[in-house]
Amino acid sequence: MGFRMIVADKFVWYHLGKTGGKTTRALIKLIEDESKREFFSGKDHHRNKAQFEEKYLESLDGKVPVVGFRRLIDFMHSYYFQQFPSHRKPCDCIREGKIMLRNGKKIMPDKILTNYVHNFYEEDDVEFLRLENIFEDFCRVFESYNFNKEKLLELSNVKVGFRKYDRLNLSESEIANVYNLNPIWKSLETKLYGGILLK
């Protein structure tokens, strides 16, 4: 049974897959807040705002939305090879700007991001936790809470970055095209990181 969401009086964390969910969950558990509740959904997909409210008959209005995020190519790499670990190289769907689910369905990362964020919130109202900067972002977002900062730093030590892999084997122009096919992700990544990475 996989974890999906954590809801507290003042915030709600949506688990956008492949953005450091296990690490983020462990960090949130460090927060001293008795109102935290963890919701599970078994084999269901990770829930967005509407799906949660329909299932649990509880409004999430007024709570700060917290969502994990990472660079697009890292996200696609992690998603694809976690789904198909035996594959030596990715299918052409990545060059088409899509990821492939276990059932063979192809989907744009923009659609996934929209399903969690843009369908329900103004982008500037969302607190994003960049996986590559999880410690700094977490301390900023949850600065009003008490937590063990040394333990937080220890748990935040995650290794990310597709540059350590050669299995994607994408050229700079191919990476640029993947970004152009996912303009919502490209725009948000540019806002959060100051630009995109092509190599």
Cβ neighbors of 43 (< 8 A, separation 6 or more) are 2
Give residue 124's identity as a one-letter amino acid code: D
User: Residues 7-17: what's their mean pLDDT?
Assistant: 94
Lowest mean pLDDT among 40-44, 154-158, 182-186: 40-44
pLDDT score recorded for residue 83: 66
pTM: 0.89
The two tokens of residue 167 are 């299995």
Residue 21: φ, ψ to 5°: -60, -45
What is the Cα–Cα distance from 65 to 59, expressed in whole angstroms?
Answer: 13
**pLDDT of 168-185, one tens digit each?**
678 889 999 999 999 999
The two tokens of residue 50 are 């509407």
Helices (H) and strands (E) in the chain, counts: 8, 7
pLDDT score recorded for residue 103: 79
What is the Cα–Cα distance from 70 to 162, expressed in whole angstroms?
Answer: 11
**What CA–CA distances, in Å, run from 59 to 53, 54, 56, 76, 144?**
6, 9, 9, 32, 23
pLDDT score recorded for residue 151: 85
Q: Which of 16, 30, 60, 10 is nearest to 138 (CA)?
A: 30
pLDDT score recorded for residue 12: 96
Radius of gyration for the chain, computed over Cα atoms and rounded to the nearest angstrom? 17
β-strand 11-14 against 37-40: which pairing, if any? unpaired
Residue with the bigger pLDDT between 113 and 80: it is: 113
User: Residues 145-154: what's their mean pLDDT?
Assistant: 87
β-strand 64-69 against 127-130: which pairing, if any? parallel
The two tokens of residue 153 are 């730093």
What is the Cα–Cα distance from 70 to 65, expressed in whole angstroms?
Answer: 16
Residue 160 has pLDDT above 70, yes or no: no
